[in-house]
Amino acid sequence: MSVRQLRLVVTADDYDAAVRFYRDVLGMAERESVQPEGGSRVMILDAGAATLELAEPATAEYIDQVEVGRRVAGHIRVAFEVDDVHGGTAALRDAGGEVLAEPRKTPFRSTNARVEGPAGLQLTLFQMDES
């Protein structure tokens, strides 16, 4: 077996707010939009390259400590590499995201911020530091 795509499926009670936040503000391009029977909606957004990061509980706790200063994430957190972590964090705040931690340098050679987005999705925005 070979995996060809990672697709994270998020159920959003406020679909329109989620579309504005992830597509319009975060800048994820719309790949496809479908209206199944009954008038419901689904949109597939392009997140660029996808990876699956597996972490032991102690490591997840360490990452929360580094990024936020305390344990805040559940068992799923989505991380987006962005070009401007400071501007991205401000834009997500302006779009209604709850900033849990402002951008900060990490031991991972990146600057990271943490935001709670629509549908209860916790996001890490990260920008790789120049070598």
Can you name the CATH fold of 15-128? Answer: 2,3-Dihydroxybiphenyl 1,2-Dioxygenase; domain 1 (3.10.180)
Please report the pLDDT score of residue 131 as a whole number.
Answer: 66
Please report the pLDDT score of residue 38 as a whole number.
Answer: 86
Model pTM? 0.89
Q: If you write DSSP's letter for every residue of 61-108 in order, what string do you get?
A: HHHHHHHTSS----S--EEEE-S-HHHHHHHHHHTT-EEEEEEEE-TT
Please report the pLDDT score of residue 66 as a whole number.
Answer: 96
115 - beta bridge partners? 99, 123
**What number of other Cβ atoms are within 10 A of residue 36's Cβ?**
8
Predicted confidence (pLDDT) per residue in 18-44, tens digit: 999 999 999 999 999 998 888 899 999
pLDDT values of the chain reduced to their tens digit, one per residue, 131 residues: 988 999 999 999 999 999 999 999 999 999 999 988 888 999 999 999 999 999 999 999 999 999 999 999 999 999 999 999 999 999 999 999 999 999 999 999 999 999 999 999 999 999 999 86
- Tokens representing 125? 């925005």
Question: So where are the chain's domains?
Answer: 15-128
Report the C-alpha gap between 38 and 54 in whole angstroms. 37
Residues 6+ positions from 8 with CB-CB distance below 8 Å:
47, 78
